[in-house]
Chain A
Amino acid sequence: DTAVSQTPKYLVTQMGNDKSIKCEQNLGHDTMYWYKQDSKKFLKIMFSYNNKELIINETVPNRFSPKSPDKAHLNLHINSLELGDSAVYFCASSFRGTNSPLHFGNGTRLTVT
């Protein structure tokens, strides 16, 4: 199936831990994104990569580090997790420079206890 897939779907961890979320797309897109949906349900962009190059880096704590080994993958590593990091994280992909819509993964619900 052509899709954006992210793992894990659920992630429960304690404060201070380091965790990673993986994302892969097989749609042939050249741009990938991480969005965060907070408790108020807003979807806010965190990062965007185009062909492995960082093009958008919003005001995100540097505990969050995206890594793109190739244009089909964009992983998100989070160091020293805090309670406020609890949210749903969505990966997405698209073609850059066009009006092609973003295709989203099904999200990773991160709960920090």
Chain B
Amino acid sequence: DQQVKQNSPSLSVQEGRISILNCDYTNSMFDYFLWYKKYPAEGPTFLISISSIKDKNEDGRFTVFLNKSAKHLSLHIVPSQPGDSAVYFCAAIIQGAQKLVFGQGTRLTINP
């Protein structure tokens, strides 16, 4: 039973435009959410996070939005750059539980 789902396996966006990556979760106990970015042959690296007490967190070009009632979060990247081409993983955790649950990732390709 996948508790965190990223239903789009891939996304292609033109350079300079906005990239929107989506993530849904089923466990209402999750109270902290993270996005990781992964390049080929490397491990995932932390990108941005959000606590369930917030609905938005922004860091430079990256903004994460959380809709708790819909159990949905999204990552916005604007403007998109070629270096943003990677696989993006959404993850969720019940704070204190130490068990991070990942989605299956979305491959983002930024076209020049």
Bound-complex Cα distance A42 to B49 (A): 19
| Given A104-B44, A104-B45, A107-B43: A55 touches B32 (CB 8 Å cut-off) | no
Q: B32, B42, B102: which contacts A106 (Cβ < 8 A)?
A: B42
Q: In the bound complex, do residue B32 and residue A99 qualify as a contact, i.e. CB atoms below 8 Å apart?
A: yes
| Given A31-B98, A43-B89, A48-B98: A4 touches B43 (CB 8 Å cut-off) | yes
Binary contact track B25-39/A, C-beta < 8 Å → 1, others 0: 000000010101000
Task: Say yes or no for A96: interface residue by CB 8 A criterion.
Answer: yes
Bound-complex Cα distance A31 to B104 (A): 24
Bound-complex Cα distance A107 to B51 (A): 28
Q: Which residue numbers of A lie inside 8 Å of B, CB to CB?
A: 4, 31, 35, 40-45, 48, 50, 55-56, 90, 92, 96-97, 99, 101-107
Q: Which residue numbers of B lie inside 8 Å of A, CB to CB?
A: 2, 32, 34, 36, 41-46, 49, 51, 87, 89, 95-96, 98-105
